[in-house]
Structure 1
Amino acid sequence: MTDATALPDWLTRIGVFDLETTGVDVSRDRIVTAHVGVLDAHGRQIAARSWIADPVIPVPDGAAAIHGFTTERVRREGRPAADVVREVTGSLRALLDQGMPVVAYNASYDFSLLFHECLRHGIAPLEDPSPVIDPLVIDKAVDRYRRGKRTLEIVAEHYAVPLDGAHEASADAIAAGRVAQELGRRFELPVSATELHTRQIGWARTQAESLTEYFIRIGRIDPDDSIDGAWPIRDGAESAG
């Protein structure tokens, strides 16, 4: 059991959210699996719901190799995509309406893809979800100069958070929530989830600007291009990185 004595009050009960998808383009790719849950102060999941969607379009082999859901499997086990999108959005809206922070690792990917799925199916989207907690953005801000990649697997290991079954929506969502709580124990974060949400908007923008400069310098993108730093909903389609 994780010690909760040093945990800020606003991290003692948090929502967690993750998607596995057909690809990394937030405007074109589709949901394959989803998970929304609630963690208590000890990182135990006390409420949860998972979904499998039939995205109608084929699941690319590369994506299936990561999360294990092939085209054949989603057509056999998945529910209509519109129903899944509506229910996932409704579950998140219910948590946010209660003022409960929702954790998502690389939140601008998951929330942006869900936003476009809503538009695709004629469902009212979460246009400005808040408060959202993104351990990726926070970790880059509070430990800026640490070398190495910042995938969920690597960051979870760095903060001694178990991650069994990476790239499975429930495992990733729970691990992200526990990483967020560990960040709250180790670093002095804002006094409220709302203030942290606002800070993350600026941090994400600054991080995107820095990454843009780096990618231009190494020739990965053209000098006229830029990384979308909007958070937690991106302004346009972009890779998850």
Structure 2
Amino acid sequence: MSTPASVSRSLSAVAWARQIGVFDLETTGVDVVHDRIVTAHVGLLAADGTVLRRGDWLADPGVEIPAAATAVHGVTTARAQADGRPAREVVAEVVAALRSLFGAGVPVVAYNAPYDFSLLKHEALRHGVAPITAPGPVVDPLVIDKAVDRYRKGKRTLEAVAAHYAVDLIGAHDACADAVAAGRVAQAIAARHARTLPAEAHTLHDAQIGWARDQAESLTEYFVRIGRIDPVVDGSWPIR
């Protein structure tokens, strides 16, 4: 992965982007309550996007990994059972790694943060690990990008947003690749929108709570207009 050139601009004015944690999960599905962790990454990036520290985990989730999930991240049930560590150990170590970053005041980037933090919470509860119930400060490039460039057309997937900000994403849906790319996207957004974004991590965190709520309300209104069944979108952020 290469470091985007835009990251080097204006970061001196955006304190939260100078050193950031990154976090991503690949899982058995999209249900944050019932699905399980397959792979995880927690890392630390410098202001220029260089990886300073990384932690990678492969878990045996204790259930079959559906073919649809394997098609996304490439991990089969057989591989997870053969090479993965017990889920409880993985969950405990991922939680500890995140607690260490938050405890040091390092903001953690997670793309679509409510998914990863909510699923991790339920995994922790499942395995008797004390969960992170109020993660922070969190930086969610999905929420921020929608806030600073609301009317841009096109998809807002990590791959699409990374391409928009000229951030390389090689090997999408690998926990490490996605986490690092999300961190670099956050830094690229900070560089491009330094004049409009809060400079401090906790102020940005609080702003994202409101932005996520407003975005969910706007999406709910759209679903109502097109007649979609069960249109209410949960705007809770960074965890549900």
Q: TM-score, length-normalised on structure 2?
A: 0.94
Task: Give, as a single letter, the amino acid of the residue that structure 2 aligns with 1:111.
Answer: F
How big is each residue's C-alpha offset from its partner over 1:58-110, in whole Å with a ceiling of 9 and x where there is no partner? Answer: 10100100000011111111100000000000000000000000000000100
The aligned counterpart of 1:116 is 122
The aligned counterpart of 1:214 is 222
State the distance in 1 between where 2:26 and 2:101 align: 20
**CA drift at 1:209:** 1.0
The aligned counterpart of 1:57 is 63
Identity of aligned residues (%): 64
Task: Give, as a single letter, the amino acid of the residue that structure 1 aligns with 2:127.
Answer: H
The aligned counterpart of 2:47 is 41
State the aligned residue count: 232
Q: In structure 1, list runs of 5 or more residues that go unmatched.
A: 235-241
Query: Out of 174, 181, 184, which is 1:175 matched to?
Result: 181
State the distance in 2 between where 1:221 and 1:107 align: 25
Is 1:4 the equivalent of 2:37? no
Q: Matched residue of 2:114: which SS?
A: helix
The aligned counterpart of 1:140 is 146
State the distance in 2 between where 1:215 and 1:86 align: 38
Is 1:131 the equivalent of 2:137? yes
State the distance in 1 between where 2:205 and 2:129 align: 25
Alignment of 1:1-241 (within 5 A): 2=5, 4-7=8-11, 8-187=14-193, 188-222=196-230, 225-234=231-240
**CA drift at 1:212:** 1.3
Task: Give, as a single letter, the amino acid of the residue that structure 1 aligns with 2:215.
Answer: Q
**CA drift at 1:217:** 2.2
State the distance in 2 between where 1:125 and 1:148 align: 35
The aligned counterpart of 1:238 is none
Q: Matched residue of 2:21: which SS?
A: strand
**CA drift at 1:227:** 1.1
State the distance in 2 between where 1:217 and 1:17 align: 35
State the distance in 2 between where 1:60 and 1:27 align: 16
State the distance in 1 between where 2:119 and 2:131 align: 11
**CA drift at 1:215:** 1.9
Q: Does the Cα contact within 8 Å between 2:15 and 2:201 map onto a contact in 1? A: no
**CA drift at 1:214:** 1.5
State the distance in 1 between where 2:78 and 2:221 align: 42
**CA drift at 1:226:** 1.2
State the distance in 2 between where 1:61 and 1:220 align: 28
State the distance in 1 between where 2:53 and 2:117 align: 20
Task: Give, as a single letter, the amino acid of the residue that structure 2 aligns with 1:205.
Answer: R
**CA drift at 1:148:** 1.1
Q: In structure 2, list runs of 5 or more residues that go unmatched.
A: none
**CA drift at 1:5:** 4.5
